[in-house]
Amino acid sequence: MFPLRPRIRPRTAIFYIFLIWLAAFVVGLPSLIFANVEATPVLLRGRSTVKRNETQADQIVTYPNADTTVNTTQLEDTTRQCFLALNPKYDELYDYALFTLLYVLPLMVLAATYVPISLRLWFHRGIGEITRAQVESVRSKRRAVKMMCAVMCIFAICWFPYQVFFIILRVKPEFKRSPPAFAIFIACYWLAMSNAIYNPIIYFTMNRRFRNGLVNVLSCFSCSKPAPSQVELNIMKDVQLSYPDPQGHLESTNTVEHYQFSVVTSVA
């Protein structure tokens, strides 16, 4: 957007990447420290309560409606669940913090970054005469912005049900004990994790350089390779087409072939 401004140095970019990874580690640290797995009974009638006996390794389950206390080792309908052994107040704050840091904040950063770029590329007009090279550069940048906007939309769609599921659990805790809760959680979790599958597909279909690079990598594992003479002939053909005409001007076809020659040499 601003070609006259200095670009970010490699060291600065590495430092920012390190901060992002460090923040991700800190956000997930409570789950590593306070996560615990315990056996819980399946709800039969009413709401069951679980109490740990400090002198025994097993658990005591009390059913209020039945007025009986049984041992979990005698129950057939028990499940093992993972949860955070935190104070309910801090547990709720942690869930809202995850929703803000892992979903709302990334979407706000992506929107604040790509919306101004898109508006400038689509509605800004250059000053003076516009060359064909500038037109091709703007088209390439527009394709890149479309690709990144698609990545942002896929991220928002895939992770939205997963985040909303935990918000619903905070508003209505009894929903966790309903029969379809586990199936809904698995569906939301699968959709969220599938976000990593769609990104390479978007890159392959919308980015020519990524597609050519992938084809080049896959061709390294292929048994059939092009003959050296054929490769040299194609390179010489591109070089000849990039020469200027006798009047000293470059034709439009020559300019396009010159860019094609650059792409071929970078892939090779």
- Residues 44 and 139 grouped into a single domain: no
Domain-ending residue, one of 62, 83, 104: 83
Among 67, 83, 99, where does a domain finish? 83
pLDDT band at residue 187 using 50, 70 and 90 as cut-offs: very high
Residue tagged 């309560």 (tokens) = 49
Quick one: 78 and 92 in the same domain? no
Kindly report, residue by residue over 86-97, the tens digit of the pLDDT: 777 787 888 888
Give the pLDDT band of residue 154 (cuts 50, 70, 90): very high
Q: Name the domain count of the chain.
A: 3
Residue 238 predicted with pLDDT over 60? no
Chain segment 213-234, per-residue pLDDT in tens:
888 888 887 655 544 444 433 4
Q: What is the pLDDT of residues 97-138, one digit of tens each?
A: 888 988 999 899 888 888 888 787 777 666 656 677 777 777
Residues 76 and 90 placed together within one structural domain of the fold: no
In this structure, are 37 and 113 located in the same domain? no
DSSP 8-state class, residue 72 = G
* Mean pLDDT score across all residues of the chain: 71
Judgement on whether residues 94 and 198 belong to the same structural domain of the protein: yes
Residue 36 lies in a domain: yes
Asked if the structure places residue 218 within a domain, the reply is no
Q: Residue 216 falls within a domain, yes or no?
A: no
Same domain? 143 vs 194: yes
Q: How many CB atoms sit inside 10 A of residue 158's CB?
A: 19
Together in a domain, 49 and 102: no
Judged against a pLDDT cut of 90, whether residue 192 lies above it is answered with: yes
Q: Is 214 part of any domain?
A: no
Task: Please give the Cα distance from 163 to 91 (Å, whole number).
Answer: 15
Residue 104: the pLDDT is: 92
Asked if residue 261 and residue 163 are part of one domain, the reply reads no
Residues 103 and 55 occupy one common structural domain:
no
Closest CA to 123 of 115, 131, 111: 115
Q: Are residues 90 and 75 in the same domain?
A: no
Question: Which CATH number goes with the domain that contains 201?
Answer: 1.20.1070.10
Whether pLDDT at 265 is above 50: no
- Please tell me the predicted confidence (pLDDT) of residue 74: 45
Check pLDDT > 90 for residue 160.
Answer: yes
Average the pLDDT over each of 32-36, 71-75, 97-101, 143-147 and give the range with the smallest value.
Answer: 71-75
Range of the domain at 22: 1-83
Give the pLDDT band (50/70/90) at residue 188: very high
Domain shared by 230 and 120, yes or no: no
Task: Say if 181 falls within a structural domain.
Answer: yes
Mean pLDDT of 48-52: 43
Distance separating alpha carbons of residues 252 and 254, to the nearest angstrom: 5
Q: Say whether both 139 and 48 belong to one domain.
A: no
In a domain, 215, yes or no: no
Max avg pLDDT among 48-62, 99-113, 254-268 = 99-113
> In the listed set 178, 206, 234, which residue is the last one of a domain according to the structure?
206
Q: What secondary structure, in 3-state letters, does 181-249 show?
A: HHHHHHHHHHHHHCHHHHHHHHHHHHCHHHHHHHHHHHHHCCCCCCCHHHHHHHHHHHHHHCCCCCCCC
Q: Which of 113, 126, 119 is nearest to 142 (CA)?
A: 119
Q: Is the whole model's pTM more than 0.75, yes or no?
A: no
